[in-house]
Structure 1
Amino acid sequence: MKIEKIHHVAYRCKDAKETVEWYGKMLNMDFVLAIAEDHVPSTHEPDPYMHVFLDAGNGNVLAFFELPTKPEMGRDPNTPEWVQHIAFKVKDRAELVEFKEHLEEKGVEVLGVTDHSIFHSIYFFDPNGHRIELACPDPEEDAMLARLNDVKWDMLEEWSRTRKAPQHADWLHAKELEKN
């Protein structure tokens, strides 16, 4: 048995229509499908919802639930907002910069471009407070991924023993640290 791929990833949203329009306008995602019911199909619990699906490219689907009868959505106060995020791949750095400019022109505050060595990213928030990352590959990505592959198990073992960041891949963000 082996998982083929992610079928879809679902998050909660404050307003389904606003969310669909925002992702269409800001990230050029197409609205694929909507499902709305008064009962949850799996639990049969009475709980009206709107479930919307967006095309995130290459068969990837991003979905949202609007739950009007539930308390206002919030965040896990014990998890920093930079941790939980949705990351989308874009073709190259030129397209990443183009998205950054497009988002900023539309009034979205964008952090980055951040150089992670294997890829470059920008970060921003959707209207629901979900952190979004757009990432493009670095031209040297394959060689760097090979270096990381060689040390991944050693890093995991060291982390498991010490709960301190292993230094096997400290070169990844060296350029970013030098900038600051």
Structure 2
Amino acid sequence: MKIDRIHHVAYRCKDAKETVCWYQQMLNMDFMLAIAEDQVPSTKAPDPYMHIFLDAGGGNVLAFFELPTQPSMSRDLNTPTWVQHIALRVANRETLLRYKEHLESNGVEVLGVTDHGAFHSIYFFDPNGHRVELACPDPDEALMLKKLDAVKWEMLEEWNTTKRAPKHAAFLHQREFQQ
């Protein structure tokens, strides 16, 4: 058995129409479909919802639920805002910079470009308060990923034992690595 791919990833939104329009305008994502019911199909709970689906490219789907009868949205206050996020890939740095300019010109506060070694990212928040990351590959992505693959189990074991950041992948942010 093997998972084929992610079918969709779903988050909650404050306003379905606002969310669709924002993702269309800011990230050029197509609105694929909407499903709305008064009863949750899996639990049979009486809970009206609007479920919207956006095309995130490459067969990936980003979905949202608007839940008008539930308490207002909040987030896990024990988790820093930088942790939970939606990361979307763009083709290259030029595209990443064009998105940054587009977002900023539309009043969206953007953090970055941040160099993560294998990729470069910008960060911002959607109208629901979800942190969104756009990432593009670094020219050395293949080499970086190969080096990361070689140390992943050692890093995981060290972390599991110490709960301190292992230094096996420090090269990512130092740019000091051997080819």
Confirm or deny a common fold (TM above 0.5). Answer: yes
Identity %: 73
Letter in 2 for 1:73: M
Could you tell me which residue of structure 2 aligns to residue 155 of structure 1?
A: 155
Could you report, residue by residue, the CA deviation over 1:68-113 in whole angstroms, capped at 9, with x for unpaired residues? 0000000100000000000000000000000000000000000000
Could you report, residue by residue, the CA deviation over 1:33-53 in whole angstroms, capped at 9, with x for unpaired residues? 000000000111000000000
TM-score normalised by structure 1 residue count: 0.96
Could you tell me which residue of structure 1 aligns to residue 140 of structure 2?
A: 140
Could you report, residue by residue, the CA deviation over 1:95-132 in whole angstroms, capped at 9, with x for unpaired residues? 00000000000000000000001000000000000000
Q: 1:143, 1:49 → 2: CA distance?
A: 45
Q: Within the alignment, does 1:131 sit opposite 2:134 as a pair?
A: no
Could you tell me which residue of structure 1 aligns to residue 90 of structure 2?
A: 90
Could you tell me which residue of structure 1 aligns to residue 121 of structure 2?
A: 121
Letter in 2 for 1:155: M
Q: Which structure 2 residues correspond to residues 1-180 of structure 1 after superposition, within 5 A?
A: 1-174=1-174
Letter in 2 for 1:101: E
Cα distance, 1:173 vs structure 2: 1.4
Unaligned runs of 5+ in 2: none
**Would you identify which runs of 4 or more consecutive aligned residues in structure 1 move more than 3 Å?**
none
Q: 1:148, 1:58 → 2: CA distance?
A: 25
Unaligned runs of 5+ in 1: 176-180
SS of 1:80's partner is coil
TM-score normalised by structure 2 residue count: 0.97
Letter in 1 for 2:3: I
Q: 1:149, 1:61 → 2: CA distance?
A: 27
Alignment length (residue pairs): 175
Letter in 1 for 2:100: K
Cα distance, 1:174 vs structure 2: 2.1
Q: 1:124, 1:112 → 2: CA distance?
A: 9
